[in-house]
Structure 1
């Protein structure tokens, strides 16, 4: 947990008072800690364990076997952990780890290993829980979720919800909490013909169903056996039904089919009263609307997610990689990014998506078109841009080719390898982002201002640690460019509907770096988006991929829908049992 935010969270967790919602219900705070007399007794915890069929566990940090003083020391286990420390699959498979160390540790406390060489023995630190929950329930079904919710409500214990730990804002962990861990909800079902719960309007064909713990790679592979594609993302270890599927969920099918929330049909959830509900556009429609874009961990615990599938088609990719001199960095970046931006409107209109990674001295770009051909359509749409890049004599080109991947899961092998290389887990990371609307791409002067703002942000964000670790600035072209949501079917921030780019600045550091260095990195990352913010006044950022210190977070994350989302939150969770950092109704905003 970055040190700048620790005082705010610590005061909030320990001192927050009860307060009343518009419903008249009283918020007890859910702030009982293990050092207070209100904390459940051993026998009370045992009663919870019995009610969840023995699935209550005391949290053990992943790296505890590497600490001789942890009570869990095991040199053989430690070697395995060290070998897999940056591996997202390994990190997502246990409760005691997160994708990044920010939210696994807390201001120097925790149980982390050296990011650059995890095999080194840990020095000058004891092993503690850091930001992890004191106890967690590895829920196997909705009844376990209900029992856990009821226990937290009865004993005034803070509740957290963790899926895979892909979390840039620290929403899935908190100290002195009881966690619902959804990883084991792994059911997957294909409904060729789907009958919704008491809702003929939601009936459909080719509907997928996944449990809350199903990860992306497993879902893609499973539904491909039925010749169907999932509107998923670029990393195979992301839990599709968690924050991804409730906060937006962008991927290469964005221009073609919209986001994950656009394809949602029905959810099974457990609300704050411990009630199991199946919600859709007919049953609890307000709650269904809010959970389609209003963020995870806020309204209920989702246990099953049903969504529209689409016929499987080949994935065509143009891949380009090149380096250039730092002496020509500004002019080369300007030239490439301007050409990129000039093509973007046409690409988006024709369902081309993808990712571009810009560095001070190199560029990687992957333009993607899901299309049932041999790649001819993508070549036609991008040939002029490819020729421009090929003829740029300032570039040293190392990749410049078109490839067709027969299946989405085969394409995922490419994107997962890129993610593992450019944004590995097991270190500290901070990001800042902005959704950039169509009008910035409409005229030459607008494009010029956009490119200048993005590059200025890159230059602001550069520091020694970023340069040596090669942290990219990402231009992500997976927005629902052709899906305006004219019926207001989702609670998603409207800024998504006009955006062509999801711009992400990244920074990071490793264990052992002092606050003197890490605090400026955190601050600078937020400052990097200031130039594009100036071009997008009243605009937004993706709630799942943004800076945790974003100041105008209600407007930035949720836009004009925040007040409606808050009203639904207060209706279904009047005492704010579900309370996560800068989520709708976050208590910290009221103190």
Structure 2
């Protein structure tokens, strides 16, 4: 990606906006980091009051700073039509005005189309249906469930609910700067969306202005990147934050390399994923996604476009590597470490309790727990589920997959053999499909399931089980008892046998609990599809106080993962960042003193609350201060 050249955006005879770009000297041998700044704009005559809405570094008015809530359409100080039109013109006519939810085609109105509704209904639960839309969130629960296909969940009518009112389809940093400045100076709520994968609802917000970063799609291979502070001398990739896993992995493969990213193919791994930490099929070898970052290009809350790395803007660089997206700035591109391509072996299989009974089934799980530490230490990544069929009581274990990067077929079989021998001894029937691939990309593409959209009556809590939970037979028995009790309570579980120790011992904001992790686990709570708000809230609170609290009780000092968690996680700052949280809060106040950026359960978000229409934890309501 080259340096942005100086340009002029002409909006109307009344507007002249200049965008200047100058280069920084940091790391200039590799590529010129960009520093683009929206500078003084002249507004002759008719619209002088709009000038300051778009300038960087300005201080919000006293009314904006003291307002109890962000500004909404019914408020007297909601931006005028002229102000929104000016934002549109300045952003190259890329402002989308009140985009309709996709399911609008299913309800009476100008967009009604029964054929399109049928097609949408058939593909609703597939991530490919949603990630390319400017507002859709892949969690209807956090959106507020106000517009869905009736055959999925009948909302009776269609409203935008927790979706934004305006969206900047940003394709260059200047668009992001203008959106950030506009939100800061008007008091309008700002959200940042990439693909909409965040299941806690961070990419939504009722009547907000959204910066949609999905089309920052550049990708560049850097043959050698030098950074003594980060102990890195080797290849790297610089990618726009809109680059998704299936694009990044393919590009890396074409250059003979691999990168650390998630297993989900449509996730925008260079956006919120990597800023929140990010576990990966390669984490047992190389650490979290955030551990891979060498540099960010980012727009700050003051509207400046900066490069943050180990020598420039180092505090923001520290915070954005693990501190969470939509919090300290809006990243537009990220430079990450590249690794040699890996031959990889993957295994998929399942077994049930149907023929052997529950006790033998759990004995099979218990025998697997003995392998968790050596398997993670061997650099493998196991993604498995445990479920209880409520209709017939049959328990099911599914490995999807056991993933062994840089391991031959024979090496992988040797790792699995102790457990497989025990399953055979117990009489548990399973038929493993163990396949060797000569590269990481093909193994990843062939092995992992396509991620689905969240259910309408379920949410998930998460916990990391550290090495201490596996040090003795008694501790391993305790873990099994707690997993089993949750299954008996109908808590479907997703597990990852993984470690995430960074070999280079990088100092960043990643939750310290990841460094001791051996098993990262999620369990889901369900409620009646047509339950009342009061019933749903009680079930969710009982889940946190019961099954999730049991997991916390046996993992003192550990935590959860901020991207796969419950919005009702108690004391989320400590759970998601542990000992790093105090420093992160200080940096949040320093770099975003006016709380331009907010996302639920993000650093510093305790100061605000979404006052949802029905009292449930979703984005369908005003964002207001809790201390005013």
Instruction: Please report the TM-score for the alignment, with normalisation by the length of structure 2.
Output: 0.81
What is the Cα deviation at residue 269 of structure 1? 0.3
Q: Is 1:548 matched up with 2:580?
A: no
What is the Cα deviation at residue 252 of structure 1? 1.0
Instruction: Please report the TM-score for the alignment, with normalisation by the length of structure 1.
Output: 0.86
Q: 1:233 to 1:123 in 2, by over 3 A?
A: closer
1:348-497 pair list within 5 angstroms = 348-360=376-388, 361-365=395-399, 366-371=401-406, 373=408, 375-393=409-427, 395-397=428-430, 399-417=431-449, 419-420=450-451, 423-425=452-454, 427-462=456-491, 472-480=492-500, 482-483=501-502, 486=505, 489-497=507-515
| 2:351 alignment counterpart | 322
| 2:8 alignment counterpart | none
Q: Is 1:251 matched up with 2:280?
A: yes
Range with greater deviation from structure 2 (405-414 or 376-385): 405-414
Distance 1:510 1:222 in 2: 44
Distance 2:154 2:236 in 1: 51
Q: Which of the residues 63, 79, 82 maps onto 2:103?
A: 63
Cα deviation code 1:498-517 (max 9, x no counterpart): 01010100244686554466
1:155-194 pair list within 5 angstroms = 155-194=186-225
The unaligned stretches of length 5 or more in structure 1 are 1-19, 463-471
What is the Cα deviation at residue 460 of structure 1? 2.8
Q: 1:276 to 1:124 in 2, by over 3 A?
A: closer
Q: Which of the residues 293, 300, 303 maps onto 1:271?
A: 300
| 1:576 alignment counterpart | 595
1:45-64 pair list within 5 angstroms = 45-58=84-97, 59-64=99-104
Runs of 4+ in 1 over 4 A off after TM superposition: 25-30, 199-203, 423-426, 484-487, 508-514
Instruction: Provide the aligned C-alpha RMSD in A.
Output: 2.5
| 2:369 alignment counterpart | 341
Distance 1:588 1:277 in 2: 27
Distance 1:314 1:507 in 2: 38
Distance 2:528 2:113 in 1: 24
Distance 2:384 2:336 in 1: 28
Tell which structure's C-alpha radius of gyration is larger: 2
Q: Is 1:85 matched up with 2:119?
A: no
| 1:302 alignment counterpart | 331
Distance 2:235 2:563 in 1: 28
The unaligned stretches of length 5 or more in structure 2 are 1-58, 389-394, 610-625
| 2:316 alignment counterpart | 287
Secondary structure of residue in 1 paired with 2:568: coil
CA contact (8 A) 2:88 2:95 kept: yes
Q: 1:545 to 1:403 in 2, by over 3 A?
A: same
Secondary structure of residue in 2 paired with 1:217: helix
Distance 2:351 2:512 in 1: 35
Higher helix share: 1
Q: Which of the residues 486, 510, 522 maps onto 1:504?
A: 522
CA contact (8 A) 1:458 1:528 kept: no
Distance 2:584 2:226 in 1: 28
Cα deviation code 1:332-387 (max 9, x no counterpart): 343122212211111111112111211121101232210153x1211111111112
Distance 1:409 1:29 in 2: 50
CA contact (8 A) 1:194 1:207 kept: yes
| 1:14 alignment counterpart | none
Distance 2:334 2:313 in 1: 15
